[in-house]
A and B are shown apart, each in its own frame.
Chain A
């Protein structure tokens, strides 16, 4: 059984079909990438997997169970975590608190218990703090841990989102363009981070435009074009496939292939 399965997934926005009958199975314990030209529907696929958007047709199966009707937070509680292409950091909190908010899923506390500050609230706070500190170290943000999130530089915010997603204890981690806007050194560090967390057994789905990063880390690559599955294969297979080159050239135009 696949960890994640998309069956006939279709999503339309007005007259535009962003995702068109997509069938994909993603096996546990690997790094998978989704690539495709701009507007191919990559972020929409992530939004459909996480429940930010609802499909017009088709199903999302997690460990064989149909989660299509579940809301975003319910899927998160089943082990789906993500980062965002347009950063969605909690800028009204400190870096540490951002990650603690993610940790809180693991030790739920009721509102009344919180008001009364019962011993288990203190325990939950201590556990969240300890775990958040570990994760902040893991993603390399130790120097920023007490800073307000709003003061962090762009690259650090990208890592902070990864730490926050990891805090929820996911089995499936979706990364939406983690290297966008980063320089070569920062991108290399993100690559190391992705590989390190894949070694811990987390299944990674990566949406990314930086082809060196994608080709370097991915076990499987799904190529989408105009919401449809163009092919699935290893980095070598994707590179050799003329349809992929055609798709990128066809939409991006000959002059800007450097982006791919």
Chain B
């Protein structure tokens, strides 16, 4: 039982990170029907920039805010420089552009930060708390707490603010949104900024637990995409559920089956779910009129 609890803790921790990345995918997808394959690089940027800023002598909270700001700026630049000019290109072309962007960002990170792993100190020390026989790292509480806070804030943003509602309207019907005077281009820019910020927060939260390096974005990005698809592309609750499920599936597989195949299990699970539900778990079926 303690063992199961232990695996669940680590599954939920990683799952929360996947959920944050998946939310980034969902936000950009809703604003533009684009899958941003550079999403994982925001996660990397968040973690790496915090490490570098902290190493430069900034207090940790300042370094964190600075890192998120950097990631958001990069997200906005990416949207303006690479996505906006190709706004009406085909899906495949846009996939390649964002992958090009991720290779570019990874290359920059490699030059700036080197190829080594970096460690970020845990926010509140490393002394584990024992719960039901299982060890709970304080950083896990930070991950879950901040993720929950972010979800609540996002929910408020999308349901309470005019801007958030406009973004949702754009997601449901871009043409109608444009007709009632919503600046859909600005929505796209904001969605990239928001997604970049979410990714950076995920990267900062997880860095003390898993270490970080210039190339951690690839896998984290793909897992986030998998989580978004698992829950149903474009669905916010789906992204959260998908992320948590994916994290749990991985942790339990690693614990009880084989840690070598932990990454594979996530993708086997995705395939299995898609074969049964071709639009993910929480998607609304949309059918084409002929």
Contacts and interface: CB of A to CB of B under 8 A. Distances in A.
**Are chains A and B touching directly in their complex (CB below 8 angstroms)?**
yes
Interface of A: 43, 47, 52, 84-86, 88
Contacts of B290: 43, 47, 52, 84-86, 88
A84 B289 CA distance: 10
Interface in B231-290: 289-290
B140 to A, nearest CB: 43
Interface string B88-108: 000000000000000000000
Per DSSP, chain A at the interface is: loop
A110 to B, nearest CB: 28
A72 to B, nearest CB: 11
Interface residues of B, number: 2
Nearest to B287: A13
Nearest to A47: B290
A164 to B, nearest CB: 15
Per DSSP, chain B at the interface is: loop
Interface of B: 289-290
A88 B288 CA distance: 12
B153 to A, nearest CB: 34
Nearest to A84: B290
8 contacts: A43-B290, A47-B290, A52-B290, A84-B290, A85-B290, A86-B289, A86-B290, A88-B290
Contacts of A88: 290
Nearest to B288: A86
Contacts of A85: 290
Contacts of A43: 290
Contacts of A86: 289-290
A7 B289 CA distance: 25
A52 B289 CA distance: 11
A251 B289 CA distance: 22
A88 B290 CA distance: 8
A45 to B, nearest CB: 13
Nearest to B289: A86
A52 B287 CA distance: 12
Given A47-B290, A86-B289, A86-B290, 5 more contacts: A43-B290, A52-B290, A84-B290, A85-B290, A88-B290
A51 B289 CA distance: 14
Contacts of A47: 290
Nearest to A46: B290
B88 to A, nearest CB: 16
Q: 8 closest A-B pairs (Cβ-Cβ)? A: A84-B290, A86-B290, A86-B289, A52-B290, A88-B290, A47-B290, A85-B290, A43-B290
A84 B290 CA distance: 6
A85 B289 CA distance: 9
